[in-house]
Chains A and B, each alone.
Chain A
Protein backbone atom coordinates (compact mmCIF):
# COMPACT_ATOMS: atom_id res chain seq x y z
CA UNK A 1 0.00 0.00 0.00
CA UNK A 2 1.32 3.38 -0.99
CA UNK A 3 0.63 4.94 2.36
CA UNK A 4 2.49 2.20 4.17
CA UNK A 5 5.45 2.62 1.84
CA UNK A 6 5.68 6.28 2.72
CA UNK A 7 6.20 5.40 6.34
CA UNK A 8 8.69 2.60 5.81
CA UNK A 9 10.58 4.44 3.11
CA UNK A 10 11.41 7.28 5.41
CA UNK A 11 14.01 7.43 8.12
CA UNK A 12 13.84 4.21 10.12
CA UNK A 13 13.08 4.51 13.76
CA UNK A 14 12.59 8.09 14.72
CA UNK A 15 11.02 10.89 12.85
CA UNK A 16 10.31 14.32 14.20
CA UNK A 17 7.04 16.05 13.70
CA UNK A 18 8.51 18.73 11.43
CA UNK A 19 11.01 16.72 9.38
CA UNK A 20 9.15 16.51 6.08
CA UNK A 21 6.95 19.54 5.95
CA UNK A 22 6.44 20.70 2.38
CA UNK A 23 8.63 17.96 0.93
CA UNK A 24 7.31 16.48 -2.28
CA UNK A 25 7.70 13.17 -4.06
CA UNK A 26 8.16 13.59 -7.79
CA UNK A 27 7.54 10.79 -10.24
CA UNK A 28 10.08 11.23 -13.03
CA UNK A 29 10.14 9.38 -16.36
CA UNK A 30 13.34 9.51 -18.36
CA UNK A 31 12.77 9.10 -22.08
CA UNK A 32 16.33 8.07 -23.02
CA UNK A 33 19.67 6.89 -21.60
CA UNK A 34 21.03 10.46 -21.40
CA UNK A 35 18.21 11.47 -19.12
CA UNK A 36 18.84 8.41 -16.96
CA UNK A 37 22.44 9.52 -16.56
CA UNK A 38 21.34 13.07 -15.69
CA UNK A 39 19.01 11.74 -13.02
CA UNK A 40 21.77 9.64 -11.52
CA UNK A 41 24.01 12.69 -11.38
CA UNK A 42 21.22 14.61 -9.68
CA UNK A 43 21.12 11.96 -7.00
CA UNK A 44 24.83 12.28 -6.44
CA UNK A 45 24.63 15.96 -5.57
CA UNK A 46 24.70 15.68 -1.81
CA UNK A 47 23.61 19.23 -1.15
CA UNK A 48 20.32 18.60 -2.94
CA UNK A 49 19.47 15.85 -0.41
CA UNK A 50 17.33 13.97 -2.92
CA UNK A 51 16.06 10.69 -1.59
CA UNK A 52 15.30 8.10 -4.30
CA UNK A 53 12.33 5.99 -3.41
CA UNK A 54 12.53 4.26 -6.72
CA UNK A 55 15.79 4.44 -8.63
CA UNK A 56 16.05 5.49 -12.26
CA UNK A 57 16.68 2.24 -14.17
CA UNK A 58 15.54 2.35 -17.81
CA UNK A 59 13.94 4.90 -20.08
CA UNK A 60 10.17 4.77 -19.75
CA UNK A 61 10.31 3.38 -16.23
CA UNK A 62 9.26 5.87 -13.52
CA UNK A 63 11.69 6.93 -10.83
CA UNK A 64 10.38 8.39 -7.59
CA UNK A 65 12.30 11.19 -5.91
CA UNK A 66 11.60 12.71 -2.50
CA UNK A 67 12.80 16.29 -2.72
CA UNK A 68 13.15 18.43 0.43
CA UNK A 69 11.11 21.62 0.33
CA UNK A 70 14.08 24.05 0.08
CA UNK A 71 15.43 22.18 -2.97
CA UNK A 72 12.15 21.82 -4.86
CA UNK A 73 12.57 24.88 -7.02
CA UNK A 74 16.08 23.97 -8.13
CA UNK A 75 15.19 20.37 -8.92
CA UNK A 76 12.07 21.27 -10.91
CA UNK A 77 14.00 23.83 -12.94
CA UNK A 78 16.63 21.21 -13.68
CA UNK A 79 14.08 18.66 -14.84
CA UNK A 80 12.19 21.15 -16.97
CA UNK A 81 15.23 22.62 -18.62
CA UNK A 82 16.41 19.12 -19.55
CA UNK A 83 12.99 18.13 -20.91
CA UNK A 84 12.58 15.38 -18.33
CA UNK A 85 8.86 14.83 -17.64
CA UNK A 86 7.66 14.56 -14.09
CA UNK A 87 4.52 14.73 -12.01
CA UNK A 88 3.92 15.47 -8.35
CA UNK A 89 3.02 12.18 -6.68
CA UNK A 90 2.89 13.41 -3.11
CA UNK A 91 2.20 17.09 -2.51
CA UNK A 92 3.23 17.19 1.13
CA UNK A 93 4.93 14.23 2.73
CA UNK A 94 4.39 15.42 6.31
CA UNK A 95 0.64 15.62 5.81
CA UNK A 96 0.55 12.04 4.65
CA UNK A 97 2.65 10.95 7.59
CA UNK A 98 0.33 12.64 10.04
CA UNK A 99 -2.75 10.95 8.56
CA UNK A 100 -1.07 7.61 8.60
CA UNK A 101 0.03 7.97 12.21
CA UNK A 102 -3.53 8.74 13.20
CA UNK A 103 -4.90 5.74 11.33
CA UNK A 104 -2.35 3.45 12.92
CA UNK A 105 -3.17 4.67 16.41
CA UNK A 106 -6.87 4.18 15.77
CA UNK A 107 -6.48 0.67 14.42
CA UNK A 108 -4.25 -0.37 17.29
CA UNK A 109 -7.12 0.47 19.68
CA UNK A 110 -9.69 -1.26 17.55
CA UNK A 111 -8.60 -4.85 17.38
CA UNK A 112 -12.08 -6.08 16.55
CA UNK A 113 -14.73 -4.66 14.32
CA UNK A 114 -17.77 -3.15 16.01
CA UNK A 115 -19.96 -6.14 15.25
CA UNK A 116 -17.60 -8.59 16.99
CA UNK A 117 -18.19 -6.88 20.34
CA UNK A 118 -19.68 -9.25 22.92
CA UNK A 119 -23.27 -7.98 22.98
CA UNK A 120 -24.28 -10.71 25.40
CA UNK A 121 -22.23 -9.29 28.28
CA UNK A 122 -22.36 -6.25 30.46
CA UNK A 123 -19.46 -3.89 29.81
CA UNK A 124 -17.60 -1.15 31.64
CA UNK A 125 -17.86 2.48 30.65
CA UNK A 126 -14.42 2.37 29.00
CA UNK A 127 -15.38 -0.67 26.96
CA UNK A 128 -18.56 0.97 25.73
CA UNK A 129 -16.79 4.23 24.88
CA UNK A 130 -14.09 2.32 22.97
CA UNK A 131 -16.74 0.34 21.13
CA UNK A 132 -18.41 3.59 20.02
CA UNK A 133 -15.20 4.56 18.23
CA UNK A 134 -15.11 1.17 16.54
CA UNK A 135 -18.67 1.62 15.34
CA UNK A 136 -17.83 5.02 13.86
CA UNK A 137 -14.70 3.63 12.19
CA UNK A 138 -16.67 0.73 10.70
CA UNK A 139 -19.49 2.91 9.38
CA UNK A 140 -17.90 6.27 8.63
CA UNK A 141 -20.55 7.32 6.15
CA UNK A 142 -23.40 6.72 8.57
CA UNK A 143 -22.23 7.14 12.16
CA UNK A 144 -20.35 9.91 13.89
CA UNK A 145 -19.74 10.67 17.56
CA UNK A 146 -20.63 14.00 19.12
CA UNK A 147 -19.86 15.23 22.60
CA UNK A 148 -22.78 17.20 24.00
CA UNK A 149 -21.27 18.08 27.35
CA UNK A 150 -19.65 16.70 30.46
CA UNK A 151 -20.95 14.85 33.49
CA UNK A 152 -20.61 16.20 37.01
CA UNK A 153 -17.32 14.31 37.41
CA UNK A 154 -16.19 15.63 34.02
CA UNK A 155 -16.73 12.51 31.96
CA UNK A 156 -17.60 13.20 28.33
CA UNK A 157 -21.24 12.80 27.35
CA UNK A 158 -21.20 11.12 23.96
CA UNK A 159 -24.00 10.88 21.43
CA UNK A 160 -23.87 8.72 18.32
CA UNK A 161 -25.31 10.45 15.28
CA UNK A 162 -26.76 8.30 12.52
CA UNK A 163 -27.22 10.37 9.39
CA UNK A 164 -27.13 9.85 5.66
CA UNK A 165 -26.81 13.53 4.90
CA UNK A 166 -29.14 16.43 4.36
CA UNK A 167 -29.06 19.55 6.44
CA UNK A 168 -30.61 19.43 9.88
CA UNK A 169 -33.07 16.69 8.93
CA UNK A 170 -35.94 15.81 11.24
CA UNK A 171 -34.43 13.79 14.04
CA UNK A 172 -35.17 11.22 16.69
CA UNK A 173 -33.51 11.21 20.11
CA UNK A 174 -32.85 7.92 21.92
CA UNK A 175 -31.29 7.51 25.33
CA UNK A 176 -30.44 4.58 27.57
CA UNK A 177 -28.80 4.41 30.98
CA UNK A 178 -30.10 7.63 32.48
CA UNK A 179 -30.57 5.58 35.65
CA UNK A 180 -27.25 3.86 36.01
CA UNK A 181 -28.39 0.66 37.75
CA UNK A 182 -30.63 -0.25 34.81
CA UNK A 183 -27.83 -2.16 33.12
CA UNK A 184 -29.94 -3.94 30.52
CA UNK A 185 -30.66 -0.52 28.99
CA UNK A 186 -27.07 0.49 28.19
CA UNK A 187 -26.51 -3.04 26.91
CA UNK A 188 -29.64 -2.80 24.75
CA UNK A 189 -28.43 0.60 23.56
CA UNK A 190 -25.16 -0.86 22.29
CA UNK A 191 -26.93 -3.73 20.50
CA UNK A 192 -29.50 -1.38 18.97
CA UNK A 193 -26.94 1.16 17.75
CA UNK A 194 -25.05 -1.67 16.10
CA UNK A 195 -28.29 -2.91 14.56
CA UNK A 196 -29.06 0.46 12.96
CA UNK A 197 -25.57 0.53 11.48
CA UNK A 198 -25.68 -3.06 10.24
CA UNK A 199 -29.18 -2.87 8.78
CA UNK A 200 -28.74 0.38 6.90
CA UNK A 201 -28.36 -0.43 3.24
CA UNK A 202 -29.70 -3.95 3.75
CA UNK A 203 -33.03 -3.71 5.47
CA UNK A 204 -35.56 -1.63 3.51
CA UNK A 205 -37.31 -0.21 6.59
CA UNK A 206 -34.13 0.94 8.29
CA UNK A 207 -32.70 2.24 5.04
CA UNK A 208 -35.80 4.26 4.26
CA UNK A 209 -35.88 5.54 7.83
CA UNK A 210 -32.29 6.74 7.85
CA UNK A 211 -32.64 8.22 4.40
CA UNK A 212 -35.32 10.49 5.86
CA UNK A 213 -34.48 11.13 9.50
CA UNK A 214 -31.38 11.40 11.64
CA UNK A 215 -30.99 9.44 14.87
CA UNK A 216 -29.16 10.78 17.91
CA UNK A 217 -28.40 8.05 20.41
CA UNK A 218 -26.95 8.62 23.87
CA UNK A 219 -26.10 5.18 25.22
CA UNK A 220 -24.54 6.07 28.57
CA UNK A 221 -26.61 9.04 29.64
CA UNK A 222 -25.33 8.93 33.22
CA UNK A 223 -21.66 7.89 33.00
CA UNK A 224 -20.77 8.90 36.56
CA UNK A 225 -23.55 6.72 37.91
CA UNK A 226 -22.59 3.89 35.62
CA UNK A 227 -18.96 3.95 36.72
CA UNK A 228 -20.20 3.95 40.32
CA UNK A 229 -22.35 0.87 39.75
CA UNK A 230 -19.19 -0.94 38.66
CA UNK A 231 -16.87 0.35 41.37
CA UNK A 232 -19.03 0.69 44.44
CA UNK A 233 -22.78 0.23 44.45
CA UNK A 234 -24.48 -1.85 41.81
CA UNK A 235 -27.86 -0.36 42.69
CA UNK A 236 -26.95 3.32 42.30
CA UNK A 237 -29.61 5.23 40.36
CA UNK A 238 -28.92 8.96 40.42
CA UNK A 239 -26.16 11.27 39.22
CA UNK A 240 -23.13 11.72 41.47
CA UNK A 241 -23.41 15.43 42.07
CA UNK A 242 -22.70 16.77 45.54
CA UNK A 243 -25.69 18.34 47.28
CA UNK A 244 -24.81 21.39 49.35
CA UNK A 245 -25.78 21.00 52.96
CA UNK A 246 -26.28 17.26 52.72
CA UNK A 247 -24.10 14.20 53.00
CA UNK A 248 -26.28 12.50 50.44
CA UNK A 249 -25.12 12.48 46.85
CA UNK A 250 -26.92 12.66 43.57
CA UNK A 251 -30.03 13.92 41.83
CA UNK A 252 -32.58 11.75 40.04
CA UNK A 253 -31.97 12.75 36.42
CA UNK A 254 -35.50 11.67 35.55
CA UNK A 255 -37.04 14.18 37.98
CA UNK A 256 -34.77 17.08 37.08
CA UNK A 257 -36.48 18.24 33.88
CA UNK A 258 -38.53 21.40 33.65
CA UNK A 259 -42.00 19.88 33.37
CA UNK A 260 -44.00 19.94 36.55
CA UNK A 261 -40.63 20.32 38.27
CA UNK A 262 -40.88 19.76 42.01
CA UNK A 263 -44.46 18.51 41.93
CA UNK A 264 -45.78 15.35 43.59
CA UNK A 265 -43.95 12.35 42.27
CA UNK A 266 -40.52 13.76 43.07
CA UNK A 267 -38.75 14.45 46.33
CA UNK A 268 -37.11 17.54 47.80
CA UNK A 269 -34.92 15.37 50.01
CA UNK A 270 -31.35 14.98 48.68
CA UNK A 271 -31.17 11.53 50.26
CA UNK A 272 -34.14 10.31 48.27
CA UNK A 273 -33.83 8.25 45.10
CA UNK A 274 -36.28 10.62 43.41
CA UNK A 275 -34.65 13.86 44.56
CA UNK A 276 -35.43 16.42 41.89
CA UNK A 277 -32.39 18.58 42.50
CA UNK A 278 -32.06 22.23 43.59
CA UNK A 279 -33.65 23.51 40.37
CA UNK A 280 -34.69 22.23 36.96
CA UNK A 281 -31.77 21.24 34.71
CA UNK A 282 -29.30 21.59 37.59
CA UNK A 283 -27.64 18.38 36.40
CA UNK A 284 -25.22 18.79 33.51
CA UNK A 285 -26.31 15.36 32.24
CA UNK A 286 -29.80 16.79 31.80
CA UNK A 287 -28.87 20.32 30.72
CA UNK A 288 -26.64 18.98 27.95
CA UNK A 289 -29.57 17.15 26.40
CA UNK A 290 -31.91 20.12 26.83
CA UNK A 291 -29.41 22.40 25.09
CA UNK A 292 -28.75 19.91 22.35
CA UNK A 293 -32.40 19.28 21.53
CA UNK A 294 -33.32 22.95 21.68
CA UNK A 295 -30.48 24.11 19.49
CA UNK A 296 -31.11 21.27 17.02
CA UNK A 297 -34.64 22.57 16.67
CA UNK A 298 -35.92 19.69 14.59
CA UNK A 299 -36.31 16.74 16.96
CA UNK A 300 -39.62 14.99 16.31
CA UNK A 301 -39.43 12.04 18.69
CA UNK A 302 -37.73 11.12 21.94
CA UNK A 303 -37.49 7.64 23.40
CA UNK A 304 -35.98 7.32 26.87
CA UNK A 305 -35.23 3.75 27.88
CA UNK A 306 -35.36 2.43 31.43
CA UNK A 307 -35.77 -0.85 33.25
CA UNK A 308 -37.51 -2.70 34.81
CA UNK A 309 -41.28 -3.37 34.67
CA UNK A 310 -42.06 -4.18 31.05
CA UNK A 311 -44.00 -1.06 30.17
CA UNK A 312 -44.25 1.37 27.29
CA UNK A 313 -45.44 4.78 28.41
CA UNK A 314 -46.04 8.31 27.20
CA UNK A 315 -46.93 11.67 28.83
CA UNK A 316 -47.99 12.78 31.28
CA UNK A 317 -46.17 11.67 34.39
CA UNK A 318 -46.62 14.83 36.39
CA UNK A 319 -50.38 15.04 36.07
CA UNK A 320 -53.25 12.69 35.50
CA UNK A 321 -54.83 14.75 32.72
CA UNK A 322 -54.55 12.94 29.40
CA UNK A 323 -52.12 14.47 26.95
CA UNK A 324 -53.70 16.14 23.90
CA UNK A 325 -52.23 13.39 21.71
CA UNK A 326 -53.25 10.60 24.06
CA UNK A 327 -55.30 8.69 21.46
CA UNK A 328 -52.55 8.55 18.87
CA UNK A 329 -49.77 7.84 21.37
CA UNK A 330 -51.87 5.12 22.99
CA UNK A 331 -52.71 3.39 19.70
CA UNK A 332 -49.07 3.42 18.64
CA UNK A 333 -48.00 2.04 22.02
CA UNK A 334 -50.56 -0.73 21.69
CA UNK A 335 -49.13 -1.75 18.32
CA UNK A 336 -45.54 -1.56 19.50
CA UNK A 337 -46.26 -3.69 22.55
CA UNK A 338 -48.06 -6.26 20.44
CA UNK A 339 -45.11 -6.55 18.05
CA UNK A 340 -42.75 -6.84 21.00
CA UNK A 341 -44.79 -9.70 22.47
CA UNK A 342 -44.77 -11.49 19.13
CA UNK A 343 -41.02 -12.14 19.44
CA UNK A 344 -40.80 -14.18 22.66
CA UNK A 345 -44.16 -13.72 24.35
CA UNK A 346 -42.96 -11.00 26.70
CA UNK A 347 -45.95 -9.03 27.89
CA UNK A 348 -45.81 -5.29 28.38
CA UNK A 349 -48.42 -2.95 29.75
CA UNK A 350 -48.82 0.49 28.23
CA UNK A 351 -50.43 3.83 28.88
CA UNK A 352 -49.57 7.21 30.31
CA UNK A 353 -46.87 7.29 32.96
CA UNK A 354 -49.25 8.55 35.64
CA UNK A 355 -51.77 5.77 35.00
CA UNK A 356 -49.41 2.91 34.40
CA UNK A 357 -46.67 3.31 36.95
CA UNK A 358 -47.00 6.37 39.20
CA UNK A 359 -47.10 10.13 39.29
CA UNK A 360 -43.61 11.33 38.42
CA UNK A 361 -42.77 15.01 38.08
CA UNK A 362 -39.93 16.49 36.08
CA UNK A 363 -39.43 13.57 33.68
CA UNK A 364 -37.55 13.55 30.39
CA UNK A 365 -40.60 12.53 28.45
CA UNK A 366 -42.88 15.25 29.84
CA UNK A 367 -40.29 17.92 29.16
CA UNK A 368 -39.80 16.75 25.59
CA UNK A 369 -43.54 16.62 24.98
CA UNK A 370 -44.01 20.14 26.30
CA UNK A 371 -41.13 21.38 24.16
CA UNK A 372 -42.39 20.40 20.76
CA UNK A 373 -41.45 16.72 20.68
CA UNK A 374 -44.80 15.09 20.03
CA UNK A 375 -43.72 11.45 19.98
CA UNK A 376 -42.25 11.11 23.46
CA UNK A 377 -42.07 7.62 24.90
CA UNK A 378 -40.40 5.80 27.72
CA UNK A 379 -39.75 2.09 27.87
CA UNK A 380 -39.30 0.01 30.99
CA UNK A 381 -37.54 -3.10 29.74
CA UNK A 382 -37.36 -6.62 31.26
CA UNK A 383 -38.19 -8.01 33.71
CA UNK A 384 -41.13 -7.64 36.12
CA UNK A 385 -39.16 -8.16 39.32
CA UNK A 386 -37.84 -11.70 39.30
CA UNK A 387 -34.31 -10.31 38.75
CA UNK A 388 -35.20 -6.64 38.45
CA UNK A 389 -32.10 -4.54 37.94
CA UNK A 390 -29.85 -7.60 38.21
CA UNK A 391 -31.05 -9.09 34.95
CA UNK A 392 -28.83 -12.00 33.86
CA UNK A 393 -26.69 -11.15 30.85
CA UNK A 394 -28.22 -14.10 29.00
CA UNK A 395 -31.32 -11.93 28.68
CA UNK A 396 -29.59 -8.94 27.08
CA UNK A 397 -29.88 -10.06 23.49
CA UNK A 398 -33.44 -11.42 23.85
CA UNK A 399 -34.46 -8.12 25.45
CA UNK A 400 -32.85 -6.04 22.72
CA UNK A 401 -34.20 -8.34 20.01
CA UNK A 402 -37.80 -8.11 21.17
CA UNK A 403 -37.62 -4.35 21.79
CA UNK A 404 -36.34 -3.69 18.27
CA UNK A 405 -39.68 -4.12 16.44
CA UNK A 406 -41.38 -1.90 19.01
CA UNK A 407 -38.78 0.81 18.48
CA UNK A 408 -39.15 0.51 14.73
CA UNK A 409 -42.93 0.79 14.98
CA UNK A 410 -42.53 4.13 16.72
CA UNK A 411 -39.79 5.39 14.42
CA UNK A 412 -41.62 4.40 11.24
CA UNK A 413 -44.79 6.05 12.49
CA UNK A 414 -42.80 9.22 13.15
CA UNK A 415 -41.26 9.02 9.68
CA UNK A 416 -44.73 8.75 8.18
CA UNK A 417 -46.19 11.52 10.30
CA UNK A 418 -43.54 14.21 10.24
CA UNK A 419 -44.79 17.58 11.36
Chain B
Protein backbone atom coordinates (compact mmCIF):
# COMPACT_ATOMS: atom_id res chain seq x y z
CA UNK B 1 0.00 0.00 0.00
CA UNK B 2 1.47 3.30 -1.08
CA UNK B 3 -0.02 6.67 -0.13
CA UNK B 4 0.95 9.82 -2.00
CA UNK B 5 -0.04 13.44 -1.42
CA UNK B 6 -1.45 15.08 -4.55
CA UNK B 7 -1.56 18.79 -5.33
CA UNK B 8 -5.24 19.72 -4.87
CA UNK B 9 -5.21 21.21 -8.36
CA UNK B 10 -4.10 17.94 -9.89
CA UNK B 11 -6.44 16.53 -12.52
CA UNK B 12 -6.91 13.18 -10.79
CA UNK B 13 -7.81 14.90 -7.53
CA UNK B 14 -10.39 17.09 -9.23
CA UNK B 15 -11.93 14.11 -11.04
CA UNK B 16 -12.25 12.09 -7.85
CA UNK B 17 -13.72 15.09 -6.03
CA UNK B 18 -16.21 15.69 -8.86
CA UNK B 19 -17.30 12.08 -8.54
CA UNK B 20 -17.68 12.37 -4.78
CA UNK B 21 -19.69 15.57 -5.23
CA UNK B 22 -21.97 13.86 -7.74
CA UNK B 23 -22.56 10.99 -5.35
CA UNK B 24 -23.34 13.36 -2.48
CA UNK B 25 -25.68 15.35 -4.76
CA UNK B 26 -27.61 12.21 -5.46
CA UNK B 27 -27.83 11.23 -1.81
CA UNK B 28 -28.81 14.66 -0.49
CA UNK B 29 -30.25 16.52 -3.45
CA UNK B 30 -33.89 17.43 -3.96
CA UNK B 31 -35.89 19.98 -5.98
CA UNK B 32 -35.20 22.53 -3.25
CA UNK B 33 -31.61 21.68 -2.59
CA UNK B 34 -28.52 21.07 -4.67
CA UNK B 35 -24.82 20.78 -3.95
CA UNK B 36 -21.93 21.38 -6.30
CA UNK B 37 -18.17 21.10 -5.91
CA UNK B 38 -16.55 24.41 -5.00
CA UNK B 39 -12.96 23.37 -4.59
CA UNK B 40 -10.55 20.71 -3.39
CA UNK B 41 -8.58 21.34 -0.23
CA UNK B 42 -6.52 18.20 0.07
CA UNK B 43 -6.01 14.99 -1.87
CA UNK B 44 -4.06 11.82 -1.29
CA UNK B 45 -3.92 8.73 -3.42
CA UNK B 46 -3.51 5.24 -2.09
CA UNK B 47 -2.52 2.46 -4.50
CA UNK B 48 -3.91 -0.82 -3.16
CA UNK B 49 -2.37 -3.82 -4.89
CA UNK B 50 -4.89 -5.98 -6.65
CA UNK B 51 -7.77 -3.71 -5.63
CA UNK B 52 -7.41 -0.28 -7.17
CA UNK B 53 -6.74 3.37 -6.43
CA UNK B 54 -8.31 5.02 -3.42
CA UNK B 55 -8.49 8.80 -3.15
CA UNK B 56 -8.71 10.49 0.24
CA UNK B 57 -10.26 13.89 -0.24
CA UNK B 58 -11.12 17.06 1.63
CA UNK B 59 -13.26 19.46 -0.35
CA UNK B 60 -15.89 22.17 -0.18
CA UNK B 61 -19.40 21.97 -1.61
CA UNK B 62 -21.59 24.97 -2.31
CA UNK B 63 -25.36 25.27 -2.41
CA UNK B 64 -26.43 25.67 -6.05
CA UNK B 65 -29.14 28.15 -4.99
CA UNK B 66 -27.01 30.15 -2.60
CA UNK B 67 -23.36 30.21 -3.61
CA UNK B 68 -22.20 31.71 -0.31
CA UNK B 69 -23.59 28.75 1.59
CA UNK B 70 -20.88 26.09 1.74
CA UNK B 71 -20.11 22.87 3.59
CA UNK B 72 -16.84 21.07 4.16
CA UNK B 73 -16.69 17.36 3.29
CA UNK B 74 -14.33 14.47 3.36
CA UNK B 75 -14.63 11.42 1.14
CA UNK B 76 -12.89 8.25 0.08
CA UNK B 77 -13.29 7.25 -3.53
CA UNK B 78 -12.15 3.80 -4.59
CA UNK B 79 -11.79 3.12 -8.30
CA UNK B 80 -11.77 -0.64 -8.81
CA UNK B 81 -8.91 -2.01 -10.84
CA UNK B 82 -9.85 -3.55 -14.14
CA UNK B 83 -13.59 -3.93 -13.59
CA UNK B 84 -15.18 -1.35 -15.86
CA UNK B 85 -18.72 -2.36 -14.96
CA UNK B 86 -18.37 -1.65 -11.31
CA UNK B 87 -19.09 1.85 -10.07
CA UNK B 88 -16.45 3.38 -7.78
CA UNK B 89 -17.07 3.04 -4.03
CA UNK B 90 -17.75 6.32 -2.29
CA UNK B 91 -17.84 6.98 1.44
CA UNK B 92 -18.33 10.51 2.69
CA UNK B 93 -18.93 12.72 5.70
CA UNK B 94 -20.41 16.21 5.72
CA UNK B 95 -19.28 18.59 8.44
CA UNK B 96 -22.22 20.17 10.14
CA UNK B 97 -25.82 20.40 9.10
CA UNK B 98 -27.16 20.74 5.63
CA UNK B 99 -29.77 23.37 4.97
CA UNK B 100 -33.30 22.19 5.64
CA UNK B 101 -35.32 22.56 2.46
CA UNK B 102 -38.51 20.81 3.49
CA UNK B 103 -40.58 23.88 2.77
CA UNK B 104 -39.23 24.41 -0.74
CA UNK B 105 -39.59 20.69 -1.45
CA UNK B 106 -43.19 20.63 -0.26
CA UNK B 107 -44.12 23.70 -2.26
CA UNK B 108 -42.77 22.05 -5.38
CA UNK B 109 -44.44 18.74 -4.56
CA UNK B 110 -47.84 20.33 -4.12
CA UNK B 111 -47.46 22.47 -7.18
CA UNK B 112 -46.73 19.50 -9.44
CA UNK B 113 -49.39 17.32 -7.84
CA UNK B 114 -52.00 19.95 -8.58
CA UNK B 115 -51.07 20.46 -12.24
CA UNK B 116 -53.94 19.65 -14.62
CA UNK B 117 -51.57 18.77 -17.43
CA UNK B 118 -48.24 16.96 -17.08
CA UNK B 119 -45.27 19.28 -16.89
CA UNK B 120 -43.13 19.42 -20.02
CA UNK B 121 -40.12 21.57 -20.81
CA UNK B 122 -37.03 21.81 -23.00
CA UNK B 123 -33.54 23.28 -22.93
CA UNK B 124 -32.87 24.02 -19.30
CA UNK B 125 -30.79 26.16 -19.14
CA UNK B 126 -31.35 27.71 -22.56
CA UNK B 127 -28.51 28.79 -24.84
CA UNK B 128 -28.04 31.96 -22.80
CA UNK B 129 -27.81 30.18 -19.45
CA UNK B 130 -31.32 31.22 -18.40
CA UNK B 131 -33.38 29.03 -16.12
CA UNK B 132 -36.94 30.33 -15.49
CA UNK B 133 -37.62 30.41 -11.74
CA UNK B 134 -40.35 27.80 -11.98
CA UNK B 135 -37.86 25.42 -13.61
CA UNK B 136 -35.20 25.76 -10.91
CA UNK B 137 -36.58 22.80 -8.91
CA UNK B 138 -36.79 20.70 -12.09
CA UNK B 139 -33.14 21.47 -12.68
CA UNK B 140 -32.15 20.74 -9.09
CA UNK B 141 -33.93 17.40 -9.34
CA UNK B 142 -32.04 16.59 -12.54
CA UNK B 143 -28.83 17.66 -10.83
CA UNK B 144 -29.42 15.14 -8.05
CA UNK B 145 -30.52 12.37 -10.40
CA UNK B 146 -27.60 12.93 -12.77
CA UNK B 147 -25.34 12.53 -9.74
CA UNK B 148 -26.42 8.91 -9.67
CA UNK B 149 -25.80 8.45 -13.40
CA UNK B 150 -22.40 10.13 -13.12
CA UNK B 151 -21.42 7.98 -10.17
CA UNK B 152 -22.42 4.79 -11.93
CA UNK B 153 -20.49 5.64 -15.09
CA UNK B 154 -17.33 7.28 -13.81
CA UNK B 155 -13.80 5.99 -14.02
CA UNK B 156 -10.45 7.41 -12.97
CA UNK B 157 -10.01 9.07 -16.38
CA UNK B 158 -13.44 10.63 -16.71
CA UNK B 159 -15.09 13.75 -15.31
CA UNK B 160 -18.78 14.22 -15.99
CA UNK B 161 -20.96 17.27 -15.51
CA UNK B 162 -24.61 17.86 -16.27
CA UNK B 163 -24.54 20.22 -19.29
CA UNK B 164 -28.21 20.67 -20.07
CA UNK B 165 -31.68 19.20 -19.77
CA UNK B 166 -32.81 18.73 -23.37
CA UNK B 167 -36.30 17.52 -22.49
CA UNK B 168 -38.27 16.75 -19.40
CA UNK B 169 -41.73 15.26 -19.24
CA UNK B 170 -43.72 14.47 -16.17
CA UNK B 171 -45.25 11.02 -16.02
CA UNK B 172 -48.50 10.96 -14.08
CA UNK B 173 -48.64 8.39 -11.31
CA UNK B 174 -51.47 7.12 -9.16
CA UNK B 175 -49.30 6.78 -6.06
CA UNK B 176 -47.69 9.56 -4.03
CA UNK B 177 -44.46 9.73 -6.03
CA UNK B 178 -43.60 12.27 -8.69
CA UNK B 179 -42.08 10.81 -11.85
CA UNK B 180 -40.15 12.65 -14.54
CA UNK B 181 -38.63 11.37 -17.72
CA UNK B 182 -35.50 13.32 -18.59
CA UNK B 183 -33.25 13.48 -21.62
CA UNK B 184 -30.10 15.17 -20.42
CA UNK B 185 -26.76 16.04 -21.95
CA UNK B 186 -23.70 15.06 -19.98
CA UNK B 187 -20.40 16.77 -20.71
CA UNK B 188 -17.43 14.48 -20.26
CA UNK B 189 -14.51 16.78 -19.54
CA UNK B 190 -11.62 14.58 -20.67
CA UNK B 191 -12.93 13.44 -24.05
CA UNK B 192 -14.99 16.64 -24.31
CA UNK B 193 -17.92 14.59 -25.55
CA UNK B 194 -21.53 15.61 -25.11
CA UNK B 195 -23.47 12.47 -24.30
CA UNK B 196 -27.26 12.26 -24.43
CA UNK B 197 -28.68 10.23 -21.60
CA UNK B 198 -32.15 9.17 -20.61
CA UNK B 199 -33.17 8.91 -16.99
CA UNK B 200 -36.46 8.13 -15.27
CA UNK B 201 -36.56 9.88 -11.92
CA UNK B 202 -38.83 9.21 -8.97
CA UNK B 203 -39.07 11.63 -6.07
CA UNK B 204 -41.01 12.14 -2.92
CA UNK B 205 -40.20 14.67 -0.16
CA UNK B 206 -39.72 11.89 2.38
CA UNK B 207 -38.06 9.37 0.11
CA UNK B 208 -35.35 11.22 -1.75
CA UNK B 209 -34.35 10.87 -5.39
CA UNK B 210 -34.35 7.51 -7.18
CA UNK B 211 -33.28 6.84 -10.74
CA UNK B 212 -35.33 3.82 -11.76
CA UNK B 213 -34.13 3.61 -15.32
CA UNK B 214 -31.32 5.21 -17.21
CA UNK B 215 -29.29 4.68 -20.33
CA UNK B 216 -27.05 6.28 -22.86
CA UNK B 217 -28.91 7.48 -25.96
CA UNK B 218 -27.63 7.38 -29.53
CA UNK B 219 -26.47 10.71 -31.02
CA UNK B 220 -29.48 11.12 -33.29
CA UNK B 221 -31.85 10.79 -30.35
CA UNK B 222 -31.68 14.57 -30.12
CA UNK B 223 -33.03 15.28 -33.61
Q: Which residues of A are interface residues toward B (Cβ below 8 A)?
A: 121-122, 229-230, 234-235, 237, 252, 267, 272-274, 309, 311, 347, 349-351, 355-358, 384-395
Contact = CB atoms under 8 A, between A and B. Distances in A.
A247 to B, nearest CB: 11
B163 interface: yes
Contact of B187 (A274, A351, A389): A389
A273 B18 contact: no
A273 B163 contact: no
**Main secondary structure on A side of the interface with B:** loop
A385 B125 contact: no
Contacts of A389: 163, 187
A350 B130 CA distance: 29
Given A272-B193, A390-B164, A356 B9 contact: yes
Given A235-B163, A273-B191, A273-B193, A349 B185 contact: no
Given A272-B191, A347-B39, A351-B7, A392 B129 contact: yes
B164 to A, nearest CB: 6
A235 B130 contact: no
Interface string B170-199: 000000000000000101011111100000
B37 interface: yes
B106 interface: no
Given A237-B192, A274-B191, A384-B37, 9 more contacts: A267-B191, A309-B189, A355-B10, A355-B11, A356-B10, A385-B162, A387-B129, A392-B129, A392-B130
A272 B191 CA distance: 8
A395 B129 contact: yes
A393 B194 contact: no
Given A384-B37, A385-B37, A234 B127 contact: yes
A390 B9 contact: no
B8 interface: yes
B191 A388 contact: no
B11 A235 contact: no
Nearest to B68: A345
Contacts of A391: 129
A347 B9 CA distance: 11
Nearest to A393: B128
Contacts of A122: 127-128
Contacts of A229: 127
A79 to B, nearest CB: 68
Given A234-B127, A274-B192, A358-B190, A388 B161 contact: yes
B223 to A, nearest CB: 11
Contacts of B64: 386
